[in-house]
Amino acid sequence: MPALSFFGKRPTSFKRLLRRVHVPLIVLFSCSLNACWTSRIANPLTPAQVNKSDYGRNAKLLYYMDLGITNHYEGRYAVSNRKLEDAERLGEQLYTKSLTGTAASFIVNDYVLAYRGEDFELALIHLYMALNYAKLGKLEDALVEARKLDSKLSALNQSYPEGKKNVYKEDALIRFIAALLHEAEGNLDSANVDYMKSLEVFRDYAANYGTVAPRFVVENLLTVADGAGFPDRVEKLRSEYPEAQFLRYKSKQRLGEVIVVHYHGKSPVKVSERVPLGIMEGVVLTVSFPKYEYSPRNRKGATVTFTRADGKGVSCATEVMENIEAIASKNLKNRIHRMNAKAIARLAAQYALIEMQAKKIRKKYGKKAEQLWRMTTHLSRELASTADTRSCRSLPAEIRIGRAILMPGEYSANIRMPDGETRQIKKLKVSAGKKEFVILRSVD
């Protein structure tokens, strides 16, 4: 009597062959299904469009980020913070890499790994949270986020070996916002340090991303350095930046400061690009790399005119302080060699596995079976071979900042957006020594 398989009779040779073929096929196809990540979205995301099911098990970080950031744009700051806190916790948990997942990513694709976030994405979580707390009037909590940011940026700096440092290792905008919060608290020493760092990072920003420090960064530093009792620094800065206006700390304390945070454009999206490497034993070998696709946007900023009840007004235009498009692009360029090496190693591993099995099949079942095996497995390999195109889709292309120093009182604000659209804020209360944040979002 022939030996029985679990399900009954011993399968025929052809059935056994099919089983051998099906297992890798099922594995590869199921993994390639994970890769159904939609990078391109027609309109800017809204909280209602952020569905957990669209993100899958391995992109939970992006789900929480998108939900937190879109709620921030809609003015739901408490909800935004809850979601961003989830994103932050998950980001910390994802520090621990899965050994089996990493091994699988060398055979299948990077979608089998949980998305851990780009450095700048993880840092920006704290920026949004700090602004949320500031908008909720919780300055102490906003400062907690500023301190977290400081340690995150320091850790980021240390996470790359000497000589292999990432271009993005500090954040000028985040430092500027942290300095503003410290200044609002009256902690002039910390404010001074953060304004200085912001200005320093802008030198790198100018070289790497073409973003120069707006004049008000220097002006705020001058004021704080004066308040903290650094006359030498004030003198040095005034000679370095003669165009910057110097406002004494005591005078500024009698005035209020409005910061316009303008999120403009859509962040670039990653797309998978297939590059043919050659033909080997009749099989076309390709590898996929991620590349960024950019959305067109108006390069102008928003202009905000604040008008008091007596008709006196002050205008300010928003200037680019964080070019996310350029940061993302440079960041990818930094890592592309590592990604290329991994994609080629993956291709080699897949090819070796398939060919090893092909030899066995030829020996046992003949040439036709081998051809069938090679055709199906190489096809599924090609389908599964796709670059990891996951990225945060709710980020803007750039963050622009405008600043106005105003006499205390009640103001109305008339906003002219980059596309010519006008918006209004009916009532904005400005208090002496306080900072007010105005949040704007535009796409085109």
Binding stretches for other proteins (CB under 8 A):
6-8, 89, 92, 95-101, 140-141, 143-144, 147-148, 151, 154-155, 158-159
**Whether the Cβ atoms of residue 152 and residue 101 lie closer than 8 Å to each other:** no
CB of 82 to other proteins, least distance (A): 12
**Whether the Cβ atoms of residue 142 and residue 133 lie closer than 8 Å to each other:** yes
Residue closer to other proteins, measured from CB, 101 or 366:
101
CB of 126 to other proteins, least distance (A): 11
Residue closer to other proteins, measured from CB, 8 or 420:
8
CB of 233 to other proteins, least distance (A): 24
Exposed, middle or buried: residue 436 (CB in 10 Å: 0-12, 13-18, 19+)? buried
DSSP alpha helices (H): ranges in 159-277?
Answer: 172-185, 188-209, 215-227, 231-240, 249-253
Residue closer to other proteins, measured from CB, 145 or 226:
145
**Residue 272, H or E segment:** strand 269-280
CB of 151 to other proteins, least distance (A): 5
Residue closer to other proteins, measured from CB, 76 or 138:
138
CB of 263 to other proteins, least distance (A): 24
Q: Specify the residue for token string 């000679």.
A: 239
**Whether the Cβ atoms of residue 263 and residue 124 lie closer than 8 Å to each other:** no
Helix (H, G, I), strand (E, B) or coil at 295: coil
Residue closer to other proteins, measured from CB, 162 or 232:
162
CB of 84 to other proteins, least distance (A): 12
Neighbours of 100 (CB within 10 A): 8
Neighbours of 31 (CB within 10 A): 20
Residue closer to other proteins, measured from CB, 53 or 100:
100
CB of 140 to other proteins, least distance (A): 5
Residue closer to other proteins, measured from CB, 193 or 417:
193
**Whether the Cβ atoms of residue 202 and residue 176 lie closer than 8 Å to each other:** no
Residue closer to other proteins, measured from CB, 182 or 252:
182
Sequence letter at residue 20: R
**Whether the Cβ atoms of residue 336 and residue 345 lie closer than 8 Å to each other:** no
Q: Which residues contact 81 (CB under 8 A, 6 or more apart)?
A: 68, 129, 132, 133, 136
CB of 338 to other proteins, least distance (A): 17
